[in-house]
Structure 1
Amino acid sequence: MVVGGGIAGMQASLDLADSGFRVYLVDKAPAIGGVMAQLDKTFPTLDCSMCIMAPKLVATGRHHNIHLLTNADIINVEGNPGNFTVTVKMNPRYVNAEKCTGCGLCAQYCPVEAVNEYDERLTLRRGIYVDYPQAVPLVYAIDREKCIGCGLCENICQAEAIEYDQTPSEEKVNVGAIILAAGFDEFEPDTKKEYGYGRFKNVVTATEFERILSASGPFAGHVVRPSDGEIPKRIAFLQCVGSRDEKSNKYCSAVCCMYATKEAIIAKEHNPDLEATIFFMDMRTYGKGFEQFYQRAQSEYGLSYIRSRVPCIEENPETQNLLLTYETEDGTITKAEFDMVVLSVGLEPPKSSQELSTVFGVPLNDYGFLDWKIFEPLKAKEGIYACGAFSGPKDIPDTVAQASGAAAMASGVISGERGTLVEEKVYPQEIDVAEQQPRIGVFVCWCGINIGGIVNVPEVMEYASTLPNVVFVDQNLYTCSQDTQEKIKQAVEEHNLNRVVVASCTPRTHEPLFQSTIREAGLNPYLFEMTNIRDQCSWVHMHTPEEATEKAKDLVRMAVAKSNLLEPLKSSSVEVTQSGLVIGGGIAGMTAALGLAQQGFTVHLVEKEDHLGGLLRSIRFTMSGEDPQEYLATLEQSLRDHPNVHIHTGTTVERIDGYVGNFTTALSSGEEIRHGICVVAVGGQEHKPASYLYGKDERVVTQLEFEDMLSKGVKAKTVVMINCVESRDDTKEYCSRVCCSEAVKNALKLKEKNPDTNVYILYRDMRTYAFREQYYDRARENGIVFMRYDPETKPRLEKKGESLVLYAHDAALDLDFELHPDLVVLSTGVSPYDNSALSQMLKVPLDRDGFFLEAHMKLRPVDFATDGVFMAGLAHSPKFIDETISQAYGAVARACTIISKERIETEPIIAEVDEELCCGCQVCIPMCPYNARELDEEENIVKVNEVLCKGCGSCVAACPSGAAQQRHFRDNQLSSMIEAFVRR
């Protein structure tokens, strides 16, 4: 059972269901989706939030092994791991979910208005409603507190779904494990009277502003002031509202710096003349790609960042503009006027956290979030696991990785029951279109304002209706929503469509969704064509809407031309080798290997060193006082004792062949391993700097070297730590995430051992995010001195005689300092190993910094684009121990979706050879990056290994005789698109 239907709950449910388990997904709201459903876009990619989440929404709602229990509460839990009995209270929605078609007629006729919670109270909804247009399940509910009982909805409902007499009911569910994914609530700023929230109409929260930005929001995506509908010229964002505050929440909410930057950028894209100013304490852009996003915000979008905490807001009653008085770093008191103020409110535990704690018997921390241990970040208690913001503030990628990790932990408890309760999905008989003339349906998507704000969608739709063999056209706000999927299926049936074209966003994320939809309607999934009028049109031509509209017509015309020539394709299936390979024996690799073994699969753990442990061997203590070496020893012993684990130390990977489900890897020891999946956990290394006399004076050390010294004893009167050494600059653009906390940890340990030692930490921004903020507070209380420096005035270290002299400029005090340290400790960050050879072997990419590049930064943080290969730990990016463990278990869950199956289907869009045209020249063979082509010497023709082929098309481009063709991209299909474009 998964409790909570936000992105964490959906991810955990999908991973479990795809690994062979029946899942009950419980949410107290009428629909799943959580907070992510309210967002306009996501950072740092600026993807449309609904666009990337909708496939997961629909997949969760459709999955035959996921049972949704919405509008429900958990009231009792009994039993033990492997055998829990959960009592679920089903609250009435006064609409029969089996009968409701989601048509919306009831809401159109309802005379009652109520505050719209989805739009953050900025608009009104009807007394009968759905949370949002793409809601899953798309079933209406009656707000009985507002309903006047007029009966209009009952009279208008043709499905006879209205049931006023519904009463609460209870359902007992037997489950083996439970995952708590209850999410968070946002801080209510009306308690901060000084900011005027609730009194000044143009002071809004970040979530309210998110809805203002959204095309489905109160102002249809137009950035206007709530007070008068005018376009704001100046907007201020105030950080740390309800976070890092002695009077409310002392912890950092981890996401606010990034979401404020994101919202300011989006607002600038709406109105390029907008002046956006962000008032902040420390800019905590610590995640993968975050620092570069922050730099782009300044260099490309011109966002202004002022390091100051605004004490109060006043309103000009005549204009309803807002007056901010603040102190700059040089002590100057400044006043500024803004049209709007956005409060970056923090994350709080859900209001139900105490109730959940009582019902499930799980502990909460001092802040009301779930309490957890650093080496068991996903465990609430035996058999009950947690993920996402319920265990502390975190962003979407960390939430998704944790959700998959919790799924792995939960399935480990019940692995013996895998496959016993699952139901196979049954599709209707496939329609034979061989003798039919093409009948094409075209669906054009608004994608909120991502497309519709630039491209004239009605004009494109009208144009599409004039194209050959197009018999049906439609437009939708979000074509990927569940209700639109039903409309597509209905259109196929009613209009006898045998080809479907969707003009919307990228097929990389959405094509499988639409293919599944038309398959449910009886069509072969490859009688589908998708044209990208968002990424390739509206986004790149946002300043020329007329030209963008014409280009959209071109793209639709080309897609329709190709769809006339589409043909059904069939996939085959191959057996799966139900074992795994883990490359890298640090904490990520060791955790992943043990996780796979606990699922019942054989796993080979390969480590290039002659011992396990990786970077963890250099860590002597944690911020919260645990002993990493003791944990490492226990973990290693568990691996060595497990019969499913085979450890290969002092060994490297020499060659990897094969494909998802069937890889063969050659090791330097001479062994060959057959495995179905691969987890890349090669770790990272502490960067060794070339500055600050490092390597030239033994008194200059790195943080890990200093940690080792601390474990043995350090005698020094003055210790200076310098953060961001060769990080966040031309040497390494990224932030290494762990350095600020590592410096605070070591400084506190030094003070504990030597209270009289003077400790200075020189920093640019203190990035002790989430609950690590408490250690930053403790450090200051213990007399550790923090001095902020700007990159233009970096500290200088010189050796004068036998003494070290450090010159620093404190940016906060605007004063120069001279220090005489006995020891200088450099926070140098994490660097990747040279992974180029391994990336080529696995055919997976690296990012610009040398870390491995995930399939999707937000929603597939442990997957590669190459099927069957996953990543975890520092191979992905710098992270803490608990985050590494969570991600490693996340990789386990994703891997289990493959190796839990005996067979998997192959990709039908592959190359083939016309044997009559092939002359056996073999030009195509070296062009194939997947070794999928070989010469049949007897027939002197090239044959294709259909399992190895990935359909990249390199062979087609190289073939001089035209014998190589690619299914779904045949020469006549591509030629038709070119000809259609020329006919413009």
Structure 2
Amino acid sequence: SPELGYGRYPNVVTSMEFERMLSASGPVGGHVTRPSDHSGPKRIAFLQCVGSRNKDNDYCSSVCCMSAIKEAVITKEHLPAAESAIFYMDIRAQGKDFDLYYERAKKDYGVRFIHSQVSRIAERPKNRNLVIVYIDGEGKPREEEFDLVVLAVGMKPAPEALDLAGMLGISLNDYGFCKTDGFSPLNTSRDGVFACGVFQGPKDIPETVVQAGAAAEAASTFLSEVRGTLTRQKEYPQERDVTGETPRIGVFICHCGINIGGIVNVPEVKEYARRLPDVAVVDENLYTCSQDTQEKIKKAIEEHHLNRVVVASCSPRTHEPLFQETIREIGLNKYLFEMANIRDQCSWVHMQLPIEATAKAKDLIRMAVAKARLLQPLEEPTLGITKKALVIGGGLAGMKAALGMARQGFASALVEKEKELGGNLRHIYHTLEGKDVQELLRDTVREVLSTPEITVFTDAEIKSVDGYLGNFRSVISAAGRDEEYEHGVVIVAVGARESQPAEYLYGKESRVVTQSELSERLALHPEEIEKYQHVVMIQCVGSRNPDHPNCSRICCLVAVKNALKLKELSPRTAVTVLYRDIRTYGLMERYYKLARERGVQFVPYAAEAKPELSVNNGNLELKVRDLMIGEETVIAPDLVVLSSAVIPYDNTQLAKMLKVPLTADKFFLEAHMKLRPVDFATDGIFLAGMAHFPKTISETIAQAGAAVARATAVIAKGYVSILPTISCVDQSRCLGCGLCESLCPFNAIRVVETEKGKKSETIAASCKGCGICSASCPQQAVTIRHFTDEELFAQIEALDEGKSLATIH
């Protein structure tokens, strides 16, 4: 981008170069500075769509908008006085909860968003500052001066990837990405070779992880008959017996780049930890989760004969299993480990209070050490697995998931609440690319019904789900009778639906329809289209508002698809799309361009100035303030099409039954947005399709494949390890009152008859160690292993000690 100064002006950098500046392992150690004079920038401009959405690369790179927003937010955390401005064409925050992050950047971090494409950048020779020339929202030319400019340069195929494609003999598309089919999104042009990630096209981390799982599932289908024949069990050294040993605790404190070290005074915390009782060694690390630090921990355990380990770093949810595995590999029981979360609970929440954050980090480490002294080795029992799946939902995701399980050699029950399979596919007729959806529907239903491993229940409901990973038992109600079904895993694919708009005269005026209703007219009554003189589409109806703050992801794609179909059937019909941001992400940008070339008009409007629709003398009248020209425009359409929000079904009862969480929008909440996008926090239950969040057909098929891959990985082993951090009943103290049984949200504790009368016992595989039973027992007869009363009281007493011991320097 020579016209934007890259390569000529030192203070113009790419988004990737700026990302490295923000990183603690980068060239400036996470301290954002200008390349020209190494001073901290006060005003930073982010320029979007540099190298994307132009005549050379007419596709969207999908991730640049959110990357810029993230970088602006992190910059504000690093440099509170810095101001950031993002120059954009459309903000493409189409991912799950991305719009919430976008709004947070504006409101909480003061990031400015300027709807303008920058044409020129000039450098002031004296101070090396950069002057940006652009057209503002009122159509007037403006100049602003910035200390640093960051260019969102987008993605393109790597030369090495092109060479690999040539060696494998697989086809590429016009952009040089791998050519795939929308209905077989992982398949390349060569059988047995599958594509995923950015090699296939620009995409974010969650979609990449999903596609990786789906590609693994597709590949493993060919290997299912020989599954496990070449696997070797990992061998561990014999576990050290630490019984009777005086605690020797190693404390490892993480800088986490500057996530922790930029706020918490880690060297001071390190010196403090040295003085804690039974601490034999203390070390600080840039990234404690790195492979080299794992080796340092192992070496310290050997050299100092450690028998307990404490890591003070980030969330146990992310990295505790890694550290447990590390100490097990050197001979310590994995439960002789404790973690203090000094990132989330110190540096992140107290980023403006470094002294207090440092003091709190000392408190948390002192408490962790106090608990570590009392930790005892625990064993993980194993249980057998029922090698069947329950798939809830008979739409595209559910059907593809059931077929995937069958290809892997496992039976499943496919439960659909409607009388027919197909879900939303029954109301979709063609894709943006022009593919026949009804043919996909017919072929998929036919394959499902002819697959012997799949038992289909239609017009059915799930009445109950009991049990745990590997050993679930569900009751399916269908055809007037209840049937019990035993299975090892669950795949949730219940879908979502188009909402019914409560505005723009919908339901009161026959000339106002939804995109789904227009799609049916275009497919089933194409002869009617020529009568329309002017069709207007309104985007973001019922979404990106306080009630539904997120984008529905697919609405812009559907609008462009239907607009192109309108123009195909009736070229003389005027089509206008009123929008806030057009979100034709990835390779679908070409269809947005094609629609403009075909004469479809796109008119932007502001969220605070929504279009107004009324009936005047029997005619529809639509008023909208066009942001391009800065004036109100009056349109007289004869059909108004609403791109209404995609909303979930009422999932509350099913979520309670499965004991899985929902988002604020009532979609199902995955275990981790980026790293575990098809898993739930509840083991053995997986997620696919629009029950997770709105998505396209190809994205739905990929997520179904990823869910199958995760489910298969669980049940193919034939057994499951049970976490020992669960409740344990001292039956000598138990009175059998049943309070614990009545309160347990997981049905994991029950009262049974024993020789000494009624007593409670824990169902180990169902217990999640939540502690409700332990906290409520009037006899103190229930203990949670690894979180015993003794350990918890030790932590509380250590916190109290800190009032006199901890010193703030």
TM-score when scaled to structure 2? 0.97
**Selected match of 2:270 from 461, 470, 480:** 461
**Selected match of 1:370 from 168, 178, 184:** 178
Q: Is 1:430 aligned with 2:248?
A: no
**Selected match of 1:858 from 674, 683, 692:** 674
What is the aligned partner in structure 2 of residue 800 from structure 1? Answer: 616
**Selected match of 2:365 from 533, 556, 576:** 556
What is the aligned partner in structure 2 of residue 27 from structure 1? Answer: none
**Selected match of 1:350 from 141, 150, 158:** 158
**Selected match of 1:962 from 756, 774, 780:** 780
Query: Residues of 1 paired with 2:574 and 2:259: CA distance?
Result: 55
What is the aligned partner in structure 1 of residue 36 from structure 2? Answer: 227
What is the aligned partner in structure 2 of residue 942 from structure 1? Answer: 760
Q: Is 1:981 aligned with 2:799?
A: yes
What is the aligned partner in structure 1 of residue 143 from structure 2? Answer: 335
What is the aligned partner in structure 1 of residue 592 from structure 2? Answer: 776
Task: For residue 329 of structure 1, report the CA deviation from its aligned partner.
Answer: 2.8
AA aligned to 1:700 is: V
Task: For residue 821 of structure 1, report the CA deviation from its aligned partner.
Answer: 1.4
Deviations 1:943-968 (Å, cap 9, x if unpaired)? 11112211111000001111111101
What is the aligned partner in structure 1 of residue 381 from structure 2? Answer: 572
Task: For residue 815 of structure 1, report the CA deviation from its aligned partner.
Answer: 2.2
Equivalent residues of 1:213, 1:223 under 8 A apart? yes
List aligned pairs for 1:384-423, cutoff 5 A.
Answer: 384-423=193-232
Task: For residue 400 of structure 1, report the CA deviation from its aligned partner.
Answer: 0.4
Q: What's the % identity of the aligned pairs?
A: 56
Task: For residue 730 of structure 1, report the CA deviation from its aligned partner.
Answer: 2.2
What is the aligned partner in structure 1 of residue 65 from structure 2? Answer: 257
**Selected match of 2:87 from 271, 276, 279:** 279
Query: Residues of 2 paired with 1:279 and 1:708: CA distance?
Result: 38
What is the aligned partner in structure 2 of residue 752 from structure 1? Answer: 568
Query: Residues of 1 paired with 2:351 and 2:563: CA distance?
Result: 50
What is the aligned partner in structure 2 of residue 700 from structure 1? Answer: 512
Query: Secondary structure of 1:812's match?
Result: coil
Task: For residue 456 of structure 1, report the CA deviation from its aligned partner.
Answer: 1.2
Query: Secondary structure of 2:448's match?
Result: helix
Equivalent residues of 1:738, 1:829 under 8 A apart? no
AA aligned to 1:943 is: E
List aligned pairs for 1:61-210, cutoff 5 A.
Answer: 192-210=1-19
Query: Secondary structure of 1:493's match?
Result: helix
AA aligned to 1:494 is: E
Gapped regions of structure 1 (runs ≥ 5): 1-191
Query: Secondary structure of 1:384's match?
Result: coil
Q: Is 1:506 aligned with 2:342?
A: no
Q: Is 1:678 aligned with 2:486?
A: no
Task: For residue 464 of structure 1, report the CA deviation from its aligned partner.
Answer: 1.2
Query: Residues of 1 paired with 2:352 and 2:650: CA distance?
Result: 41
Task: For residue 752 of structure 1, report the CA deviation from its aligned partner.
Answer: 0.4
AA aligned to 1:666 is: V
Q: Is 1:723 aligned with 2:539?
A: yes
Query: Secondary structure of 1:926's match?
Result: helix
What is the aligned partner in structure 1 of residue 446 from structure 2? Answer: 637
What is the aligned partner in structure 1 of residue 807 from structure 2? Answer: none
Query: Secondary structure of 2:473's match?
Result: strand
Tell me the C-alpha RMSD between the 2 structures.
1.0
Query: Residues of 2 paired with 1:935 and 1:330: CA distance?
Result: 72
**Selected match of 1:538 from 347, 357, 373:** 347
Task: For residue 386 of structure 1, report the CA deviation from its aligned partner.
Answer: 0.8
Task: For residue 373 of structure 1, report the CA deviation from its aligned partner.
Answer: 0.8
Equivalent residues of 2:139, 2:630 under 8 A apart? no
Deviations 1:507-558 (Å, cap 9, x if unpaired)? 1111111111111110111011111111111111111111211111111111
Q: Is 1:302 aligned with 2:98?
A: no
**Selected match of 2:101 from 293, 297, 318:** 293
What is the aligned partner in structure 2 of residue 971 from structure 1? Answer: 789
Q: Is 1:925 aligned with 2:741?
A: yes
Query: Secondary structure of 2:41's match?
Result: coil
AA aligned to 1:889 is: G
Equivalent residues of 1:443, 1:474 under 8 A apart? yes
Report how many residues are paired: 792
Query: Residues of 2 paired with 1:287 and 1:411: CA distance?
Result: 29
**Selected match of 1:742 from 538, 558, 581:** 558
Equivalent residues of 1:911, 1:967 under 8 A apart? yes
What is the aligned partner in structure 1 of residue 805 from structure 2? Answer: none
Query: Residues of 1 paired with 2:351 and 2:559: CA distance?
Result: 45
Query: Residues of 2 paired with 1:936 and 1:759: CA distance?
Result: 70
Judge which range, 967-976 or 792-801, deviates more: 792-801
Query: Residues of 1 paired with 2:796 and 2:219: CA distance?
Result: 52
Query: Residues of 2 paired with 1:892 and 1:485: CA distance?
Result: 32
Query: Residues of 2 paired with 1:583 and 1:418: CA distance?
Result: 26
Query: Residues of 1 paired with 2:740 and 2:591: CA distance?
Result: 60
Q: Is 1:646 aligned with 2:455?
A: yes
**Selected match of 1:893 from 709, 718, 739:** 709
Task: For residue 219 of structure 1, report the CA deviation from its aligned partner.
Answer: 1.3
Deviations 1:798-855 (Å, cap 9, x if unpaired)? 1123321111221111122222211111000211000000000000000000100010
Task: For residue 897 of structure 1, report the CA deviation from its aligned partner.
Answer: 1.2
Deviations 1:585-639 (Å, cap 9, x if unpaired)? 1111111111111000001110000101101111111111110000111111111
Deviations 1:708-736 (Å, cap 9, x if unpaired)? 00112223111111111121112311101
Deviations 1:736-780 (Å, cap 9, x if unpaired)? 111111111101101101111111111111111111111111111
**Selected match of 2:394 from 585, 591, 602:** 585
Query: Residues of 2 paired with 1:510 and 1:439: CA distance?
Result: 22
Query: Secondary structure of 1:463's match?
Result: helix
Equivalent residues of 1:443, 1:501 under 8 A apart? yes
Q: Is 1:883 aligned with 2:738?
A: no
Query: Residues of 2 paired with 1:912 and 1:512: CA distance?
Result: 23
AA aligned to 1:278 is: I
Task: For residue 784 of structure 1, report the CA deviation from its aligned partner.
Answer: 1.0
Query: Residues of 1 paired with 2:2 and 2:491: CA distance?
Result: 51
AA aligned to 2:698 is: D
What is the aligned partner in structure 1 of residue 806 from structure 2? Answer: none
**Selected match of 1:829 from 623, 637, 645:** 645
What is the aligned partner in structure 1 of residue 501 from structure 2? Answer: 689
Task: For residue 353 of structure 1, report the CA deviation from its aligned partner.
Answer: 2.9
Task: For residue 437 of structure 1, report the CA deviation from its aligned partner.
Answer: 1.3
Equivalent residues of 1:445, 1:451 under 8 A apart? yes
Query: Residues of 2 paired with 1:793 and 1:440: CA distance?
Result: 62
What is the aligned partner in structure 2 of residue 181 from structure 1? Answer: none
Deviations 1:837-892 (Å, cap 9, x if unpaired)? 00000000000001000101111111100001010111000111111111110111
Query: Residues of 2 paired with 1:859 and 1:197: CA distance?
Result: 34
AA aligned to 2:767 is: C
Equivalent residues of 2:579, 2:603 under 8 A apart? yes
List aligned pairs for 1:474-553, cutoff 5 A.
Answer: 474-553=283-362
Query: Residues of 1 paired with 2:462 and 2:535: CA distance?
Result: 43
Equivalent residues of 1:353, 1:368 under 8 A apart? no
Judge which range, 411-420 or 935-944, deviates more: 935-944
Task: For residue 215 of structure 1, report the CA deviation from its aligned partner.
Answer: 1.2
TM-score when scaled to structure 1? 0.80
Judge which range, 806-815 or 613-622, deviates more: 806-815
